Amino acid sequence: MKETSTPALKYDTIATEEGVFQTTLTRKYLNRKSYAPLNIKNVISAIPGTVTKLMVSEGDEVSEGDILLELEAMKMHNKILAPMTGKIKAINVKEGERIPKNTLMVEFE
């Protein structure tokens, strides 16, 4: 009878908040996109909806937490807040416009 050998598993090391672990990684995990932080100067829609009200104009100075616009989604009126203090560079949506998820709505300088 012929003996078959299985290839040795290759273990990788992963560090987490809980500790360092040795594990096997899937091809899907190895081919994933690495994390890239969002640009805080861009306000992007997290959900699709309709812009019901714009509270700011291009060139306005706003403080962190000020309401920029109102986005209606699933009969809820979501207030979109300024992520930072600064000047509005561009507003890329209009009142009454239906927008998909991940739409660039407002840009800061």
Residue 70 forms part of a structural domain: yes
- Give me the domain span that covers residue 73: 42-108
Closest by CA to 24, choosing from 7, 11, 8, is 11
Tokens of 28: 């899907």
27 within some domain: no
Name the CA dihedral angle for 31, 37, 38, 39, rounded to a multiple of 10 degrees: -130
61-71: per-residue pLDDT in tens?
999 999 999 99
| Alpha helix ranges (H) inside the chain | 27-30
Domain membership flag for residue 64: yes
User: Does residue 4 fall inside a structural domain?
Assistant: no
- Is there a domain that residue 35 lies in? no
Considering the domain boundaries, does residue 11 fall inside one? no
Q: What is the pLDDT of residues 70-84, one digit of tens each?
A: 999 999 999 999 999
CB distance 85 to 66 below 8 Å: no
The domain that contains 68 carries what CATH number?
A: 2.40.50.100
The answer to whether the predicted template modeling score (pTM) of the entire model surpasses 0.75 is no
Q: Among 48, 39, 49, 47, which Cα is nearest to 106's?
A: 39
Instruction: Give how many domains the chain has, as a whole number.
Output: 1
Residue 5 lies in a domain: no
Interval 3-61: pLDDT, tens: 666 666 788 888 889 999 998 888 898 899 887 778 889 999 999 999 999 999 999 99
Q: Could you tell me if residue 15 is inside a domain?
A: no
Residue 105 has pLDDT above 70, yes or no: yes
